[in-house]
Amino acid sequence: MSDADPNEVIVNVGAFADVDTEELERAVRRTLLSQGVRNAEVSVTLLDDGEIRGLNLRYRSENRPTDVIAFALGGGAGILGDVYLGVEEARRQASDADVPLSEELVRLAVHGTLHVLGYDHPAGPERVASPMYALQEALVREIRGASGA
């Protein structure tokens, strides 16, 4: 947290100590600030397939790993949210899209943060035409460009 950015962002890497936590934190902060949010607490937690599958089953009734699950928790005067990233699913998606894992994780952190802020998109292929997707991709380009990646 700083004077320029009063938001609090915590990244929990778990077993994925090789992930660039600074880039993920920067992605969440940039997403919040892009929407004028200046009073938020957002945590990002990296999970393996089994862990994210459990959350997906419990909260979405889908018994499969997924890439991101986000919860807006309310918080009174500010934004409070948890974002869970399925790193193994992200790794598969990055490979399929021929992008670095770090880029896919930034994309998912932005995506989850936008969900915490109330954004949504249609299911299926229509999602890429949604305003949320356009905003997400613009932020990913900005964040990845700033990191020199």
In this model, does residue 76 exceed pLDDT 80? no
Counting Cα atoms < 13 Å in the Cβ hemisphere of 86 gives: 21
Closest CA to 85 of 59, 58, 66: 66
Per-residue pLDDT reduced to its tens digit, 95-137: 999 999 999 999 999 999 999 999 988 888 888 888 999 999 9
What is the rounded average pLDDT for all residues in the chain? 91
Q: For the chain, which residues make up each domain, given as ranges?
A: 8-146
With residue 5 as reference, give the H or E element that holds it: none
Whether residue 135 contacts residue 141, with contact meaning beta carbons closer than 8 Å, is answered with: no
Per the CATH hierarchy, to which homologous superfamily does domain 8-146 belong? Metalloproteases ("zincins"), catalytic domain (3.40.390.30)
